[in-house]
Structure 1
Amino acid sequence: MNTEVIHAKLARRTGEDRRVETPDDLVDRVARTLAGTERAHHPAAEADERVRHWTARYRALMTENRFWPSGRILNNAGTAQAQLASCFVLPLADDFASVFDTLTTAAACHRTGGGTGFDLTPLRERGAPISSAEAAGASGPVSWLRLFDAETSVVAQGGKMRGANLASMSVYHPDVREFVDAKRTVGRLHTFNLSVAVDDAFLHAVEANHEINLVSPLTGEVTERIAAAGLWERICTNAWRTGDPGVLFTDAINRANPLVDRLGPIRTTNPCGEQTLYPYEASTLGSLNLTAFLRPDHRSVDVTLLAETVRDAVRLLDSSIDASHYPCTRIGEASRANRRLGLGVMGYADLLVGMGIAYDSDAALDLVDLIGATIRDAAWEASEQLAVERGPYPNWTPAHRPLPVRNCAVTTIAPTGTISMVAGCSSGVEPRFAPVWNKDVMRPDGITHADEDLLAALRRHGGLDRQAALDLLRHKPLHELPLPAEVSRAFRYAHSIAPSWHVRTVARWQRYTDNAVSKTVNLPYDCTPADVSAAFLEAWRLGCKGLSVYREGSRTRDLLTAKGAGRQADADADPFPEQRIEPEPPRQSKQLADLLR
């Protein structure tokens, strides 16, 4: 485990002398707190022994670097704050007082480091009538983004955790074009990711070059008919320019939603898109470090140990729901009614390198099948066992699963950030970023990092010392390095992987994931909006629940910059000249949305 990251980002200060926790202190605090929930489910005569047993098992998950719960759990478990959820979705009703009520709740979520998602679709369109007789009409949903952006920025000043938001809007809303353009015209919004909610009917209309109706959420009347392909081009061009908006495939989300008949459709997600949530629903997260399951022969994965770890991790995350103090009663009620978990993975790219498998290969997808099926089956087995011990989640029906289960959903794939740094592994299911890169850490020159595995291979096969190997990485492309082909083939990096392989990776992991997969499709600087469209459409056809893209150099300053790649986006030839463009402050890509937490 990386003790420096734990000290800097997660350790609490305790006692009158404000002593900083050691890593062992932190692990013990978290393990004891979550194991303590066993007392609520078992007779007193056996409760103490169960608490000791599960404290030891939860501790082993972390000390053996097999699984880490989210930063919220690591930071807050066993403290007075005790808010353990990482992400929330909050409703926006078409009512002035309701919007400000949601703003207050969002501030409470951000204050504890949680991220929030909002669907703007219910809000009446710009110019629609409002009750104030002297007013010209509603300012529209996009105007509210500035208020929520300002709240998030202000609240973030009070702590070390930066707040984050996602706003979505239906493709049929009358203000959808204004929403799609928001990152170029509103300016700032640096705490927001944006996603357009599209359904199958809209995408079929794009393919057939048909028109769609824009419908007022206030009256239900059609306000305009527009060309679906023209709107799609606008979405893809803005994503090409700024990385926003992404897309949410709402039919795919709700085809896999076990609660759609009981609670209706899910309409939006958390800030990074991995948790599809109902209004007021929250979720706790944690990720398996896949590198911990690589066998010593570097040719296979220990699936028995993986399944055992999954079962313990599911129990830990379910216990975190019981141990959490939510920001408001409504969030607590919705979260405990569904008991949605977010068990994910990290270190996928590192596992591939360790096994000598290229990220963009059929062998990598075969490995996803093996790992994904093992995690899925063990996770639901654990949820069934928890239902026997603790009861099924309150909204369970046999239509979901024939046997009672404790959780409406178990698996997700988050981008990870702090916990992948704690574990010392690659983030989520992202490829490694570059052989050598600079990390923007508020310094003019940043900090230079290198792929240590590649450096070691260069030293081993090229007879170089570390500095000579680093100099070679700075000035030579990968294919010119003095490495055997069987060694170099495993070192694949974000911008050298074809977009279709990024999409296929998302789709393959999605097969085994209850919620969604957060992963950015990295695009080269010289790609076109048509390439963005191709990536989005392929993701839709392959059954993904959503997708975001990021074109290298498309913002004024990238958080991570490959050496020699610091190009700026071309701001000329605006495809929508009627819009006013304002500069936007630096903001990280969705791939890196949690990296600095």
Structure 2
Amino acid sequence: MTGNHKYSKQQITKLNNDIQKHFPHLFLIDDTMHKTFQSVSRLVMLDRYSQKDINHVSLGVGDLVLLVIKHDPKFPTRGIGNIVKLEGDLAYIKIETEYAGMCEDIGEDNIVVREIKEIDKPLELYYEQICHRVANHLGMNETLATVNEFYKELNEMNLVPAGRVLFGAGSNTKVTYFNCFVMPFIHDSRGGISIHRQKVMEIMSRGGGVGTNGSTLRPKNTLAKGVNGKSSGAVSWLHDLSELTHLVEQGGSRRGAQMIMLADWHPDIIEFIISKMQNPKILQFLINNLSDPDIVREAKNKLKFTPLSAEDIEIYEKIVEIENQNPNSISKATYNKAFQALKDQGTYSVNNPEFLSGANISVAITKEFMHAVEHDLDYQLRFPDIDNYSAGEKAAYNEKWHLIGDVREWENMGYKVRVHKTIKARELWNLINICATYSAEPGIFFFDNANDMTNAQAYGQRVVATNPCGEQPLAAYSVCNLAAVNLANMVDLKKND
């Protein structure tokens, strides 16, 4: 894992001079430093954890820089190179051999040209520089001996803090040291959604991921009396929230992460479950094999059929003709595609393939739902009956519903609840399993079990959702703090202990 990448003495001298002049909060390279890592590990360290000269005040010939070597709107590929010439707003960069083969516009002598604003200059080429920065900042109120011991543990990689700490500590920026946050339930109003979105954007801009439970948002076609209209539904607003992942850059190539959940009792749950299905054959299977009309309708809404044009028909017929006349002259996949398209008189794909793509999604599972699944019972999809609330009931809804977030508790408090749909629990359970099997989503989160076992109850709190990775059930505004203790380094092979 640790490598022996060598930087020239001239390169190190220039970088140390740059740090002394422009970045005095960072640490100089000295002869004791050697950890540069190899390949992807080196790239990740330089790209995500090393501090950068974002204003290019020290940029010069010979500097190591990071740049996009293969452009892609979703997953651009980053690489490493060295500046050989600066000319106006352009930098001429010699790509390191390891990345040259992946570079899509490489020229003679592995040179590419980029606008200066598109490149990043890392200031910490050695892991030891990062360890010094982290140890000194986090230990600023400790004794020098403690700071030195902490540095030793970091440098020997006995303790590896999470990326947000490695990047943020001592950076003189306002980034978060916490990996992920869980937000409170959303207030069911345009203002509440806007405030929630603003907070999520702020967290993500500072490097954190976010977990959201959208179960408090009113279902599709519920009245929005204030504007004499109808709601577009919880799922549409949650999609809007997920788009922030694509919009907010968190440093280098790192993008944020989100978990978005919806309760199994929410009337929009069927749309939510199907929303990320990318396989048209599975959508056709749902249409042909599940009996619930709303499942069939949502699957049809997701499935996209494109009729063949006259040109398409001519091309596909020619492919079939060639294969029939000369067997094995056309690849099997190409022939099958042409044959099926002619049979269907069109091609199938999915509508809105990017829908909710900025988040992991999970269904918050209740005990009542699992009981209904186990005993093959009907299950009700319910929500507060806001269309028929009096002025007083609506005021209570606006004041309290987002603090409760659970239709069962809301009903127990004496407020009216409307049953939007009754469905066979196993039909809904089968839908979850089919979609999870063939699109890896949604996940399932046993919401009641998590609340039964959480220590948040001791503080008068309860679980709202999980972090984006899904391993930590958290209360509102709780955070996911990560670090790795390297147990392998602590094994004494001589003692077999």
Q: TM-score under structure 2 normalisation?
A: 0.54
**Please, which runs of 5 or more residues in structure 1 have no aligned partner?**
40-49, 303-597
CA contact (8 A) 2:245 2:359 kept: no
Aligned in 2, Cα 1:29/1:217: closer, same or farther, shift over 3 Å? Answer: farther
Q: Does 1:103 align with 2:192?
A: no
Deviation at residue 262 of structure 1 after TM alignment: 4.0
Are positions 1:63 and 2:132 aligned together? no
| Residues 1:237 and 1:19: Cα distance change in structure 2 (over 3 Å) | closer
2:469 aligned with 1:272: yes
Give 3-state SS (helix, strand or coil) of 1:226's partner.
strand
RMSD: 2.3
Q: Relative to total residues, which structure has the larger strand share, 1 or 2?
A: 2
Distance across 2 between alignment mates of 1:218 and 1:169: 18
State the TM-score, normalized to the length of structure 1: 0.45
| 8 Å contact kept, 1:202–1:228 | yes
The SS at the match of 1:123 is coil
> Hey, what does 2:452 align to over in structure 1?
255
**Does structure 2 retain, via aligned residues, the 8 Å contact 1:90–1:117?**
yes
Unaligned runs of 5+ in 2: 3-35, 37-41, 59-120, 278-301, 303-351, 387-416
Q: How far off is 1:223 after superposition?
A: 2.1
Distance 1:261 1:221, change over 3 A: farther
**Does the 8 Å contact 1:123/1:217 carry over to 2?**
no
Which of 44, 48, 51 aligns to 2:143? It is: 51
Amino-acid identity (%): 29
Match of 2:353 among 184, 187, 195: 187
SS in structure 2 of the partner of residue 267 of structure 1:
strand
1:214 to 381, 384, 388: 381
Aligned equivalents of 2:353 and 2:226: distance in 1? 28
Q: Is the 8 A contact 1:117 1:268 kept in 2?
A: yes
Question: How far apart, CA to CA, are the structure 1 residues paired with 2:473 and 2:149?
Answer: 30
- Structure 1 residues 443-462: aligned runs within 5 Å: none
Tell me if structure 1 keeps the 8 A contact 2:466–2:472. Answer: yes
C-alpha contact 2:363 2:444 (8 A) present in aligned 1: yes
Deviates more, 1:18-27 or 1:151-160: 151-160
- Residue 94 of structure 1 corresponds to which residue in structure 2? 188
* TM-aligned CA deviation for residue 245 of structure 1: 0.6
> Which whole-Å deviations, capped at 9, do the CAs of 1:149-205 have from their partners, x for residues lacking one?
322211128753211111101111111111111102453132210111112232122
User: Which residue is equivalent to 2:438?
Assistant: 241
SS at match of 1:30: helix
Following the alignment from structure 2 to structure 1, what is the Cα–Cα distance between the partners of residues 190 and 227? 15
Q: Partner residue of 2:129?
A: 25
Quote the residue 2:212 is aligned against: 118
In the alignment, the residues of structure 1 paired with residue 384 and residue 459 of structure 2 have an alpha-carbon distance, to the nearest angstrom, of 23
Distance 1:217 1:118, change over 3 A: farther
The whole-number CA distance in structure 2 between the counterparts of 1:203 and 1:67 is 41
Corresponding letter in the other structure for 2:372: A
Are the counterparts in 2 of residues 193 and 244 from structure 1 also a CA contact under 8 Å? yes
Task: Kindly indicate whether residue 369 of structure 2 is the aligned counterpart of residue 202 of structure 1.
Answer: yes
| 1:116/1:166 contact within 8 Å kept | yes
Confirm whether residue 35 of structure 1 aligns to residue 139 of structure 2: yes
The Cα shift of 1:16 comes to: 5.0
Match of 1:153 in 2: 246
279, 284, 288: which is aligned to 2:481?
A: 284
* Bigger Cα displacement from structure 2, 114-123 vs 52-61: 52-61
User: In 1, distance between residues paired with 2:451 and 2:154?
Assistant: 34
Q: Which residue of structure 1 lines up, in the alignment, with residue 261 of structure 2?
A: 168
**Rg: which structure is higher?**
2
Tell me what 2:166 maps to: 74
Distance change >3 Å, CA 118–CA 218, structure 1 → 2: farther
Aligned residues: 287
